[in-house]
Amino acid sequence: MSTSDFFQARLDAMIDLRHPLAVLAKRLPWAQIEANLAPVFAHWSRAGKVVEGFDLFGPTQALTAVGVSPTGRPRLAIRLMVTLLYLKHAYNLSDDGVIERWAQDVYFQFFSGQEYFQAQPPCDKAQLSRFRRALGEAGVEELLKTTIEASVSMGAVKKAALARVIVDTTVQEKAIAHPSDSRLLEVARAKIVRLAKRAGIALKLTHEREASTLRRKAGGYAHARQFKRLKKVLKRQWTILGIVLRDVQRKMSGISQEARQSLQH
């Protein structure tokens, strides 16, 4: 023990070793986890490149940037980053939240393998996000597998319980506009009119003013739950859409083939 460590508070003397996080910290095979994940975060050896130069004896060639680069900041401990991901999901925290709580919670620090209390955050959220991306799907599966094996060995989960998996397929309602919606009828009419003008078709009536009035009435009737009046408005909108569509179809024979194809697409 160094002199500086003599004046620091040891975490195992500050916590209850029967706490779930303290028990889990002793039971998880951290050496196996680090060994399995180490190849993912290892620095790759670079092949290098040939650089041409010139000196007193003529042109020269040299191989540079070969091997593992010694530059850059050293990586943080794998166990520390893995435990931050565990704690983030176990306590439903954000990246900022789990890092801030780690600097305050002695159980979090003991679970991550620290011996002495640290008052400073272990990393920033950008480092945690990069670690999660580098971990990938295979790394997450490896962590899940190790956690399940540790739970079985501790007796927290029985093997029979793993034979059946329950998947939550809760469906959240979305704001879907149905084809009978007044807004979609107005959008269809406006698009047909716009395409007809682009193709050079002169429509007899576009019903622009009446369509705008009907759309506004439909919104008011739907809000007031006056469904009979809303039904009449929708019926009129369907009629207007049919009139405009039939007018375009009758006049398509008088336009060029290119304009007709652009109108159909």
pTM for this predicted structure: 0.51
- The tokens describing 196, both together, are 């007809």
- The pLDDT score that the predictor gives to residue 169 is 62
Give CA–CA dist 177/52, Å, rounded.
65
Structure tokens at 35: 């060994």
| Residue 179, pLDDT above cutoff 60 | no
**Averaged confidence pLDDT in the chain:** 79
Pick the more confident residue, 74 or 111: 111
Query: Sign of the C-alpha dihedral, residues 124, 127, 130, 134?
Result: negative
Instruction: Name, in order, each residue with C-beta under 8 angstroms of 225's C-beta and a sequence gap of 6 or more.
Output: none
Tokens 């009536």 map to which residue? 205
d(CA 53, CA 191): 65
pLDDT in tens, 80-122: 888 898 888 888 888 889 999 999 889 999 998 888 888 888 8
